[in-house]
Structures are given as C-alpha cells and as structure tokens.
C-alpha cells in the first residue's frame, strides 16, 4: 500500500495509519486501498478490533485531496464519491469495533471518515469541521447523514451550514467524540479501549453492531424485529454458552469467536 500503513499487535488490535503526511488528504487511491484492506481485516480472525489514525501529529485527515478534485469533471467526481462511499460504508459495517484516533485536523472527508467509526477519541489539539459549503459544494462522504445521527439535527446543521471548525472540547460537549486526551496519550488510550473491545464475544459484537447501526435508520417496530433476530443469532452462538457457563462458575469466559 502506498497511502496506508498497517500494524497488528499481540493483543489482536489492527491499526491503520493514513499515510500521506503532513495532512493526509484523502484521494481515490487511498479510498481504494482502504476498501481492500478492510475486506482483508473483516475476514482475518486474528484481528478483533481496529484503530484508524493519521500519520504524524498535524492531521488525522485534513479533507479530500483538492488538487485531485479540482481537475475532475462531474462524472469523474461522482465516481470518486462512489469509491469513497464504499470505503466509508465498509468502516461502518465492519463486524469488529472500529475506533478513530483523531490527531490534529479532521476536516471534510477526514471528519466523515471519523463519523463512520464506532468511537472517536481525539487529542486536545484536534479541530473538526465540514467546510464544504465554503467551497460551493456539500459533504459527499456521509456527513449530512451520519453527523445528525450522532450530534442531533440542530448541532449538525450548525456545523454544516456555517462550515466552521470546532475544538476538541466543543466536539466532546456536543457528543461528536467520546473522549479527549493529550496528543502523547492518544494511541495508548485508544489501544486500551480497543483491547477491552477485542475481548468481547465476536458473534454478539457483530449482532450488536448490526442491531444498532441498522435499527437507527428504520421505524421502531422494524428496529425491534431486527433486534429480536440479532438476539436469536447471538443466543445460538457457542460464545453465549461459554459466557453464561462462566458466569455461573464465577470465572472469566474463554470466548472462541463462534
């Protein structure tokens, strides 16, 4: 890979680095490489949780690569948007937990990538923004849809319509991020979260993510039907038997991932 780096540690935590420093702009090649890598990680039983972060300390990703975008015609831009959507949708749909470790600027597509993750932990120097309106366009990587679901409609419109950046503390205040830490603590703190998540039973985690992510976009009765189906799948797993048995026997469960 030319635009990404990947590491896997002994705790089964895979870390994806956006590798186009210093600002890690998102281009078509990065979207394609991310999509391919996510397919491999989804199928790899050695990977139990995933962290996405930016190379360096200045930016998670300071948006899409404007130098690429400005030379595209309408059809080509739609194709770039299609490729980015595939990658971001895969981030959201991963059966394994995905945490964005946001270091520095997270603007435009960078903010949208973070929104597709299950959790966002950011450094105190982080600034978030969706400035597309100031370029005469709108977000095209899920920002208009995922942001309202996370922070609520009024706050989402404020960020989208004004196109201004907000600080890490403000992002935490409105629920955009789960936690703010100092930059030198960011990866360690994110890995602590990832390690705890990696210990959870795999089938139940997959069913839990499915119920939450799909249920939020449908009416309540349909969502409850989905929850029931996901509950049934989790209950049929070997890990459910081990989880309940270990609880009765007052010991730590030994989940096998099926």
By annotation, the residues acting in catalysis are 112, 132
Peptide bond into 22 cis (omega under 30): yes
- Residue 43 burial (C-beta neighbours within 10 Å; 0-12, 13-18, 19+): exposed
β-sheet with 4-8: strand ranges across: 4-8, 13-18, 49-54, 98-102, 119-123, 179-181
Q: Residue 74 — φ and ψ, nearest 5°? A: -60, -45
Which of 141, 127, 223, 137 has the alpha carbon at shortest distance from 176?
127
Q: Residue 98 — φ and ψ, nearest 5°? A: -125, 125
Which of 183, 175, 24 has the alpha carbon at shortest distance from 103?
183
CA distances from 167 to 106, 120, 171, 178, 228 (A): 10, 14, 6, 14, 40
3-state helix, strand, coil in the chain (%, to 5): 50, 15, 30
Quick one: how many helices (H) and strands (E) in the chain?
11, 10
CA distances from 82 to 37, 139, 193 (A): 17, 13, 31
Which of 12, 10, 9, 6 has the alpha carbon at shortest distance from 199?
12
């Amino acid at each position: 890979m030319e635009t990404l780096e990947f590491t896997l540690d002994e705790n089964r935590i895979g870390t994806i680095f956006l590798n186009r420093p210093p600002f890690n702009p998102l281009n078509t090649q990065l979207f394609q490489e991310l999509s391919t890598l996510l397919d491999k990680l989804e199928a790899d039983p050695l990977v139990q949780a995933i962290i996405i972060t930016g190379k360096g300390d200045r930016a998670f990703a300071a948006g899409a690569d404007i130098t690429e975008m400005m030379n595209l015609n309408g059809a080509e831009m739609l194709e770039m948007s299609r490729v980015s959507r595939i990658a971001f949708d895969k981030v959201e749909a991963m059966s394994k937990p995905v945490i964005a470790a946001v270091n520095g600027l997270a603007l435009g597509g960078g903010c949208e990538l973070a929104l597709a993750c299950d959790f966002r932990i950011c450094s105190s120097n982080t600034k978030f923004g969706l400035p597309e309106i100031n370029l005469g366009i709108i977000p095209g990587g899920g920002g208009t849809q995922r942001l309202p679901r996370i922070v609520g409609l009024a706050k989402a419109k404020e960020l989208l319509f004004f196109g201004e950046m907000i600080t890490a503390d403000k992002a935490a205040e409105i629920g955009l991020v789960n936690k703010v830490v100092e930059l030198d603590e960011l990866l360690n703190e994110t890995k602590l979260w990832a390690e705890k998540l990696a210990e959870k039973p795999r089938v139940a985690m997959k069913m839990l993510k499915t119920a939450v992510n799909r249920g939020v976009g449908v009416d309540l009765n349909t969502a409850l039907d989905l929850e029931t189906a996901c509950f049934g799948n989790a209950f049929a797993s070997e890990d459910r038997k081990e989880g309940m048995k270990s609880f009765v026997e007052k010991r730590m469960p030994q989940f096998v991932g099926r």
